[in-house]
Structure 1
Amino acid sequence: MVVLLLILLGILVLFGVGFAVHVLWWVAVAALVLWLLGFLVRGASGSGRGRRHRR
């Protein structure tokens, strides 16, 4: 009986880890998309007019 409970507990832990990793992948993809959008928007709006140091 104890062995069965340990096996079920192991399955639950592995399921939880798999779910967390899956969610983290989606968070990483969303962060990458937002970064790329910010990079493209900043690059398009800057177009030569950036932070230039005047002496």
Structure 2
Amino acid sequence: MLSWSLAFLVLAILAAVLGFGGIAGAAAGIAKILFFIFLVLLIVSAIFGALRGRPPI
């Protein structure tokens, strides 16, 4: 799933370079949303892993 976030980020950068403002904005927005979702999931999994007594990898 992280690859989707990176793909939208690359698409946004490429579209911004080529001058497609609407496409770049949409792709950047999707990449930002996915980034924050994955960040929250990372924090939640780290907390649950710590509560189980397992050290982080």
Number of residue pairs the alignment of both structures matches: 37
Which consecutive residues of structure 1, in runs of 5 or more, have no partner in the other structure? 1-9
Unaligned runs of 5+ in 2: 1-18
Q: CA RMSD in A?
A: 1.6
Q: Which fold has the larger relative contact order, with Cα–Cα distance below 8 Å and residues 6 or more apart in sequence?
A: 2
Separation in 2 of the partners of 1:18 and 1:26? 12
Structure 1: which 4+ aligned runs deviate by more than 3 Å? none
Which structure: greater helix fraction? 2
- After TM superposition, the score normalised by the length of structure 2 is 0.59
Report the structure number with the largest CA radius of gyration.
1
Percent of aligned pairs with the same amino acid: 19
